[in-house]
């Protein structure tokens, strides 16, 4: 007799092709409403499933993991980031955690460049005037933005996405500077013509644009606090396609309102969808609803990685994208 299929609970709607394949391979429960699970629903799912497939909207902390049943053996996260999961506690309870790294690198890097262009060239003002029907025609001094080429781009976090941003930025004529937990290989530095700064403070004071591409960890929480933000030029721009918690959003907002920074392009926010209303009021910001990875191709590839992780686990092997302590 064939072995019984693993029971899998998926917390949000996934691309149709991914859901179809999951149903073929496993005993799967899908979320037809696409409403985020409550903590109670998450706890119940973790008690009845062999595998949970959460997304970044599901906060799986130690208290929730304490309610998991003995049946749960794998949390196959749909997403590259895993800061919403207490991986250490899961590990202590014998629950493996996997993620979907690598597939969203180009999509997120593309969005980073789009935000750099949008905020520096004043897309928000242009869109507003066109949508309101108030445009009166071309003028030599209207809608003046800032030239991108020749500026210094500082990249905070030179992993896969940071390097992809650097390659794109170099093609736009930007000078590449970066700060990272570890210096990248000399060959990569040479390819990107990138300057490494061991001191984040020193880099911040010199760049014209800062791209945040580091993960949210205890070490990076409010890494850009009020003191560090004040090191930056008043003419500098900040773009964040990583995690909102890296910036002290209240201090950041105050500086943008006071003209102590030129502008910001943000795809992520410190409190998720609860965006600071004072940010929304500013003309020098471009705000997006966490769209960095939102391509059909990318989301399908994420689902394929989830399926491979579950299938490999079902076959008695370690998931290829298992999150291990060295990654934390």
Q: What is the pLDDT of residue 286?
A: 97
Q: Is 70 exceeded by the pLDDT of residue 325?
A: no
For residues 228 and 90, state if they share a domain: no
For residues 95 and 33, state if they share a domain: yes
| Residue 1 domain flag | no
| Residue 2 domain flag | no
**If pLDDT is split at 50, 70 and 90, which confidence band does 326 have?**
low
| Residue 271 domain flag | yes
Whichever domain contains 59, its CATH number is 3.40.50.720
For residues 72 and 137, state if they share a domain: no
Q: Rounded distance, CA 95 to CA 74, Å?
A: 5
For residues 165 and 236, state if they share a domain: yes
DSSP 199: -
Q: Is 60 exceeded by the pLDDT of residue 6?
A: yes
Number of structural domains in the chain: 2
Q: What is the pLDDT of residue 272?
A: 87
For residues 123 and 78, state if they share a domain: no
The pair of structure tokens assigned to 34 is 């696409």
Mean pLDDT for all residues in the chain: 95
**If pLDDT is split at 50, 70 and 90, which confidence band does 4 have?**
confident
For residues 72 and 184, state if they share a domain: no
Q: How many angstroms separate the Cα of 207 from the Cα of each of 172, 236, 287?
A: 16, 7, 22
Strand order in the sheet with 263-266: 194-196, 175-179, 152-156, 209-212, 237-240, 263-266, 285-287
- The model's pLDDT over 67-124, given as tens digits with 9 standing for 90+, comes to 998 999 999 999 998 999 999 999 999 999 999 999 999 999 999 999 999 999 999 9
Contact in structure between 74 and 319 (CB atoms under 8 Å): yes
For residues 86 and 191, state if they share a domain: no
Q: Which domain holds residue 75?
A: 7-101+295-327
- The model's pLDDT over 269-284, given as tens digits with 9 standing for 90+, comes to 999 899 999 999 999 9
For residues 147 and 242, state if they share a domain: yes
- pTM of the predicted model over 0.85: yes
Q: Is 60 exceeded by the pLDDT of residue 38?
A: yes
Q: Rounded distance, CA 214 to CA 247, Å?
A: 11
Q: How many angstroms separate the Cα of 111 from the Cα of each of 74, 277, 298, 311?
A: 31, 23, 13, 32
Share of the chain above pLDDT 90, in %: 94
- The model's pLDDT over 133-186, given as tens digits with 9 standing for 90+, comes to 999 999 999 999 999 999 999 999 999 999 999 999 999 999 999 999 999 999
Q: What is the torsional sign of CA 240, 243, 248, 250? A: positive
Average pLDDT over residues 53-58: 95
Share of the chain above pLDDT 70, in %: 98
| Residue 70 domain flag | yes
């Amino acid at each position: 007799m064939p072995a019984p299929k693993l029971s899998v609970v998926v917390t949000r709607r996934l691309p149709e092709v991914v859901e179809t394949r999951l149903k073929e391979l496993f005993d799967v429960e899908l979320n037809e409403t696409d409403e985020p699970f409550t903590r109670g629903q998450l706890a119940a799912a973790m008690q009845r499933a062999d595998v949970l497939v959460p997304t970044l909207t599901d906060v799986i902390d130690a208290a929730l993991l304490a309610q998991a049943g003995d049946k749960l053996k794998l949390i196959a996260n749909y997403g590259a980031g895993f800061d919403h999961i207490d991986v250490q506690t899961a590990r202590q309870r014998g629950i493996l955690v996997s993620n979907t790294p690598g597939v969203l690198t180009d999509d997120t890097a593309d969005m980073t460049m789009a935000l750099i262009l949008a905020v520096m060239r004043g897309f928000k003002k242009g869109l507003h005037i066109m949508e309101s029907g108030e445009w009166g025609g071309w003028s030599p001094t209207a809608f003046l933005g800032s030239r991108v080429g020749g500026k210094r781009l500082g990249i905070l976090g030179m992993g896969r996405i940071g390097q992809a941003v650097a390659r794109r930025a170099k093609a736009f004529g930007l000078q590449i500077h970066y700060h990272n937990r570890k210096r990248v290989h000399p060959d990569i530095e040479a390819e990107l013509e990138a300057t490494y700064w061991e001191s984040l403070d020193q880099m911040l004071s010199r760049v014209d644009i800062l791209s945040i591409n580091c993960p949210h960890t205890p070490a990076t929480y409010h890494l850009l606090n009020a003191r560090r933000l004040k090191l930056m030029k008043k003419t500098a721009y900040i773009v964040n396609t990583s995690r909102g918690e890296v910036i002290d959003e209240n201090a950041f907002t105050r500086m943008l309102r006071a003209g102590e920074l030129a502008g910001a392009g943000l795809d992520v926010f410190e409190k998720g969808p609860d965006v600071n209303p004072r940010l929304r009021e500013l003309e020098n910001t471009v705000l997006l609803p966490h769209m960095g990875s939102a391509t059909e191709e990318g989301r399908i590839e994420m689902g394929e990685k989830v399926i491979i992780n579950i299938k490999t686990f079902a076959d008695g092997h370690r998931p290829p994208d298992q999150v291990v302590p060295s990654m934390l």
